[in-house]
Amino acid sequence: MEARLFQPEDLLQLRPQNSQLLDIPEDKRLEYGWQLTEGSAFTIWDETPEGVRPIFCGGAHRRHAHYAMLWGLFSIYRPKVPAHLTRSTRKFVSRLRERRVEAQASADNAAACGWVRLIGLTEEARLRGAMPDGTDMVIFVKKGMD
């Protein structure tokens, strides 16, 4: 595995897990990719059945000086998140200095909600019907925020 700075085109090569297909629609990936460069982001590359491809793209999208939104897309080729990626991401999150650091996940995706907790966030709120498929969205914030 190799970590590289995120490039918008990385989203075109990543094959998202089925649970994330609606998060960033395929025809909008490059456009979203350019927006997500407003902050810190990285891509993890590894060998897949299709050759070396991104298995994870993620980072902190800075909405303004005091607010960062975490984002991440996982490859179908890594249904289980490697432990060192979780540790690295937890360290990345711990170093963010914005007053508000948040992430969003589908309440129906127990694996995503569990991973967000593992990287250092805690549940703040639940928005009924806010996900693209009409399910509930869970808002998480970095632990220890005032």
**CB-CB contact of 128 with 89 (8 Å):** no
| Domain 2-142 superfamily per CATH | Gcn5-related N-acetyltransferase (GNAT) (3.40.630.30)
Vertex 120 angle, CA 123 and 111, to 5°: 65
**d(Cα 127, Cα 137) in Å, to the nearest integer?**
5
What is the residue whose two structure tokens read 């019907």? Answer: 129
pLDDT greater than 80 at residue 115 = yes
Query: pLDDT tens-digit profile of 63-81?
Result: 888 999 999 999 999 878 8
Structure confidence at residue 145 (pLDDT): 64
